[in-house]
Structure 1
């Protein structure tokens, strides 16, 4: 019997989950909580950046990106920041072609932008998401209030800015024969015909070898033969793909994505489709931005809505190195709280 999970992911991970749900068969993730994300960092280069500032990542309690700076909050209560322009040296280059700031394919999008300190901004996108928010609110897990018009304008400005800036990078890459496949207009019928015969070799040439891999783990999770793995931060295949199998290719959020999943009318819909904007906080949980993600997952798990959640914890042998885990107990969800700013193959945990 298929189990029912939730996941917390960045926009590219949420898109991958949406593709897997639609095109690769039995998919256990029923609830998608998407995070706001402007960019992500390479763990290796983030660690190097910290060392250049005299910071040991073991001494960092949390990271924040605020007012054009990357902030390191230290265990002793002090803070050190670097200009975001300098921190961009540690940014994963594939982030510069991402057009999604607010995880537009999620059921609920969550982030700090637009809400007061100690609160999270919530974008409810589906009826499933709306139902969870209402139940969690009535059960006392979260408090909500309408997001202010000013908060919405700030969100729209940041989302539009990311789309405009990264669209220029997409055009630049296309002009030098480095295609950005996922942003090419392709109706569903044309998409299905295009990807029919594509396999891992095509994924390697179209995505991995050109530096477009987002390290989401979807190729690992979708492979029915279990012959795809991630080594040295790159997907690789061990063996021959079965004839007619294109699972890894269609699951990847950086290959072709049909118009029905990613809309191309960015100017008029910078935040994607939505039902409602809210500010929320979770009084009984401590979190980086109001504890709302932790509260929603804990409520859903305790009420039997989900049987577990795909979340990102920390590798405690390598401070702040992200570690994908399947949290099946409330304490595991609480333990994984807090934003990690490095890429993580979250979806591969479905095969583990």
Structure 2
């Protein structure tokens, strides 16, 4: 799967903490400063006499949000103005580079046409080496100047988020995922938590990332995404805390995400390189798309979770599972808006595929 930092956290928690086999084998994380509310962005575009249905590409760079539209029209919105569209949960996220992925991919730090790739696990290292050997990607050392830019942005995000977390703590709206908690202490804290606790601790205080992990984890299909937030649509099973455990904004055992990571701009990693994908035309070097294409073509995975554009609401992100490389290529490009990425995984599980 390819996803944002918070989605990587959810995938890791479900893999490590749920009492079932989690079907995601390779996690490709994206660099992410923040996500925007789709509905707010849609309304803001109207101020520029533009419509989402005409958007061909969206990029965030050089202090602006750029919308490239049909008829060769471009809308450039200052990032300072677009900040009003940022989702509340993003202001407490300290992770710029998807620290819990196998490999992280982003444009920051590398030349135009290249991506920066942070290799974090042995699985990620084998993936990059194999993809390069088969000519899906090319790598080169990253420049020191690029690392400095990355470090500046990563530290900036951690610093701002720390301040927001402290602010929320002071007004009685604690951010649980950054609290230091270990083994038995974690088990005691979450053992009796149900969706009602998830609602109070995460959803009602604007901390939900809309990833759909709670929907996937629920064994009784009692949780669903409605009006862009999770809701209880059935009855919780007595003693079940799966939705609470799966959520990336509830407690995370220190064994999974140590508080020490707060002092590491990029988290733990093996090495950082610049990468490009000559055969793929992508938004920032096409590396994430190339890696998905490689693992599908090489039968390393059976399917990939991708985020495409909705066929109903223009440019609205929509997650799907596919084994079709043409669909992977079609879905390339960042959408910059939240998406319940684990929803199709739940549907696949229910369908027995």
TM-score between both structures, scaled by the size of structure 1 = 0.96
2:162 maps to 1:167: yes
Question: What secondary structure is seen at the aligned counterpart in 1 of 2:75?
Answer: strand
**Structure-2 residue corresponding to 1:116:** 111
2:93 maps to 1:98: yes
2:301 maps to 1:303: no
**Per the alignment, do residues 31 and 49 of structure 1 end up closer, same or farther by CA in structure 2, a change over 3 Å counting?**
same
Question: What secondary structure is seen at the aligned counterpart in 2 of 1:121?
Answer: strand
What is the rounded CA distance, in whole Å, between the counterparts of 1:194 and 1:40 in structure 2?
A: 30
1:320 CA displacement:
0.7
1:78 CA displacement:
4.0
**Structure-1 residue corresponding to 2:2:** 8
Q: 1:130-184, CA deviations, whole angstroms, 9 ceiling, x for partnerless residues?
A: 1011111010111111111111111111000000011101000100111111111
2:44 maps to 1:40: no
**Per the alignment, do residues 267 and 105 of structure 1 end up closer, same or farther by CA in structure 2, a change over 3 Å counting?**
closer
Instruction: Assess if the C-alpha contact under 8 Å between 2:306 and 2:321 holds in 1.
Output: yes
**Structure-2 residue corresponding to 1:4:** none
Q: 1:99-156, CA deviations, whole angstroms, 9 ceiling, x for partnerless residues?
A: 0000000000001000111111100000101101111101011111111111111111
1:261 CA displacement:
2.1
What is the rounded CA distance, in whole Å, between the counterparts of 1:260 and 1:74 in structure 2?
A: 46
1:58 CA displacement:
2.0
1:296 CA displacement:
0.6
Instruction: Assess if the C-alpha contact under 8 Å between 2:33 and 2:157 holds in 1.
Output: yes
**Structure-1 residue corresponding to 2:234:** 239
From 210, 215, 218, the equivalent of 1:215 is: 210
From 132, 137, 149, the equivalent of 2:144 is: 149
Question: What secondary structure is seen at the aligned counterpart in 1 of 2:99?
Answer: coil
1:325 CA displacement:
0.5
What is the rounded CA distance, in whole Å, between the counterparts of 2:146 and 2:155 in structure 1?
A: 14
1:268 CA displacement:
3.4
What is the rounded CA distance, in whole Å, between the counterparts of 2:70 and 2:141 in structure 1?
A: 34
What is the rounded CA distance, in whole Å, between the counterparts of 2:260 and 2:70 in structure 1?
A: 44
2:344 maps to 1:349: yes
Instruction: Assess if the C-alpha contact under 8 Å between 1:163 and 1:266 holds in 2.
Output: no
Instruction: Assess if the C-alpha contact under 8 Å between 1:16 and 1:252 holds in 2.
Output: yes
RMSD of aligned alpha carbons: 1.1
**Structure-2 residue corresponding to 1:313:** 308
1:54 CA displacement:
1.5
1:317 CA displacement:
2.4
What is the rounded CA distance, in whole Å, between the counterparts of 1:192 and 1:280 in structure 2?
A: 41
**Structure-1 residue corresponding to 2:63:** 68
Q: 1:167-202, CA deviations, whole angstroms, 9 ceiling, x for partnerless residues?
A: 101000100111111111111321122101111111
Unaligned runs of 5+ in 1: 1-6
2:327 maps to 1:332: yes
Instruction: Assess if the C-alpha contact under 8 Å between 1:285 and 1:291 holds in 2.
Output: yes
Unaligned runs of 5+ in 2: 348-353
- Residue correspondence of structure 1 range 217-296 to structure 2 within 5 A: 217-266=212-261, 268-296=263-291
Instruction: Assess if the C-alpha contact under 8 Å between 2:261 and 2:268 holds in 1.
Output: no
1:266 CA displacement:
4.8
2:176 maps to 1:186: no
2:53 maps to 1:20: no
Aligned length: 346
Q: Please, which moves more after superposition, 260-269 or 159-168?
A: 260-269
Question: What secondary structure is seen at the aligned counterpart in 2 of 1:29?
Answer: coil
**Per the alignment, do residues 128 and 266 of structure 1 end up closer, same or farther by CA in structure 2, a change over 3 Å counting?**
closer
Question: What secondary structure is seen at the aligned counterpart in 2 of 1:30?
Answer: coil
TM-score between both structures, scaled by the size of structure 2 = 0.96
What is the rounded CA distance, in whole Å, between the counterparts of 1:133 and 1:120 in structure 2?
A: 13
Instruction: Assess if the C-alpha contact under 8 Å between 1:160 and 1:267 holds in 2.
Output: no
**Per the alignment, do residues 247 and 267 of structure 1 end up closer, same or farther by CA in structure 2, a change over 3 Å counting?**
closer
What is the rounded CA distance, in whole Å, between the counterparts of 2:32 and 2:226 in structure 1?
A: 25
- Residue correspondence of structure 1 range 123-138 to structure 2 within 5 A: 123-138=118-133
